[in-house]
Amino acid sequence: MSETIIAVMGATGTGKSTFINLVSGANFEVGTGLLSCSKEVQSSQPFDVNGRKVVMIDTPGFDDSTRSDTDILRTIATYLADTYRSDRKLSGIIYMHRISDPRMSGISRRNFGMFRKLCGDNTLSSVVLVTNMWSQVSEDVGAARELQLQTDELLFKPVLDKGARMKRNYNTLDSARHILEELVGRGTVTLQIQEEVVMQNMGIEQTAAGVELEAEKRREIEEAKRKQEEELRRVQEELRRQMEEEERRRQKEMEQARIRAEQEAARHRRAQERERARQEEERRKEEMRRWEIQRQIEAEAEQRRQRDEEARRIQEEMRQQREEAEAEERRLREQIDHMEHQDPGPCVIF
């Protein structure tokens, strides 16, 4: 009995290797940190599902932290082309998506777009879109995200409309086997990329997935450029706004400083005027004092002069009186002398 080969694809860290280890008992390396884990395509040992031999193919995840998506696409496409050439056809493809991702980012959409082109529309009935990491979200949140994935034209809806199915993986053997049961027992499929590479002899870059990847990369570069330009404009605008704000603030400060300086100058002028008035008053008082002293000195000099005058007048009077007294004395003495030299008359004695 031929093997049922199921490939598991999806972005890095979505749990591809974990899923395969769980269902097949393989021991593929599982990521523990932020770095991508599986580097090459690897296939599990065959194991039994509903009486059929199943082989799981693990692929390196897109959006690898160390390798480009083109490189990963080349690895996967080369492996798929080789298996196709050796007549080991796929029966099913699983695309893993973390329900714990809050939204499907641009990168996730790019990965999914590339996956679509890799599969082609004719194989979608053999595709199961598996959501996992349900333990990391509440049932409500998970169900709401699941519904959005199912109904959004930009997400899983177009693929589901064309026959793909969507299943939950609760990371239990039971739920994992249920997913595989969706795929075993069906016929084999030829993926678009196998057809393109093997039958049409295309290079990887020419395949629809390769073209999609390049177009997406260009769109992303354009988008990044647009965002960068927008960010630059925003930063420039912000810078201009800040500079204007700074200029306004500076002008206001200068105006305030000018007003303060003027007020200070006015205060200083008033203080100077007060000081001048005080000095003037002081000078005026000093002059009054001097004038008063001068007046006193003059009054004293006048008094002294009057006293001296009086003294002189009194001395003059005394001198005159003395001269008169002396003249009287002389006159009396002459009289006496005269009388003494005259004949003595009868002496009358009283």
Q: Which of 44, 126, 131, 132 binds ligand GTP (CB under 6 A)?
A: 132
- Ranked by CB distance to ligand GTP, the top (closest) residue is 61
Residue 136 interacts with, from Mg ion, ligand GTP, none (CB under 5-8 Å by kind) = ligand GTP
CA distances from 122 to 155, 156, 189, 340 (A): 18, 16, 9, 198
* Distance (Å, whole) CA 216 – CA 111: 9
Q: How far apart are CA 335 and CA 34, in angstroms?
A: 165
| Rounded Cα distance, 295 and 241, in Å | 79
Interaction residues for ligand GTP, span 133-152 (CB under 6 A): 133, 135-136
- Rounded to 5°, angle at Cα 8 from 22 and 14: 75
Q: How far is the CB of 129 from ligand GTP (least distance, A)?
A: 14
Cβ proximity to Mg ion: between 21 and 194 the closer is 21
Closer by beta carbon to Mg ion, 5 or else 37: 37
Looking at 6-14, 74-82, 137-145, 235-243, which segment touches ligand GTP (CB under 6 A)?
6-14
Burial 239-256 (b: 16+ CB within 10 A, else e): eeeeeeeeeeeeeeeeee
13 binds, among ligand GTP, Mg ion, none (CB under 5 to 8 A by kind): ligand GTP
Nearer to ligand GTP by C-beta: 115 or 196? 115
In the complex, what is the shortest distance from the CB of residue 58 to Mg ion, in angstroms, rounded to a whole number? 6
How many Å from the N-terminal Cα to the C-terminal Cα in the chain? 212
One symbol per residue from 10 to 49: x for binding ligand GTP (CB under 6 A), - otherwise; what is it? --xxxxxxx-----------xxx---xxx-----------
- Shortest distance in whole angstroms from residue 16 CB to Mg ion: 5
Rounded Cα gap, residues 117 and 149, in angstroms? 18
Nearest CB to ligand GTP, comparing residues 6 and 37 = 37
Q: What angle do CA 81, 85, 88 make, to 5 degrees?
A: 90
DSSP at 87: T
Q: Which stretches within the chain are classed as H helix?
A: 16-24, 69-85, 106-119, 139-151, 157-161, 173-181, 192-194, 208-341
The pattern of x and - marking residues 11 through 50 that bind Mg ion according to CB under 5 A reads -----xx-------------------xx------------
Applying CB under 5 A, the residues found at the interface with Mg ion are: 16-17, 37-38
Applying CB under 6 A, the residues found at the interface with ligand GTP are: 12-18, 30-32, 36-38, 60-61, 132-133, 135-136, 169, 171
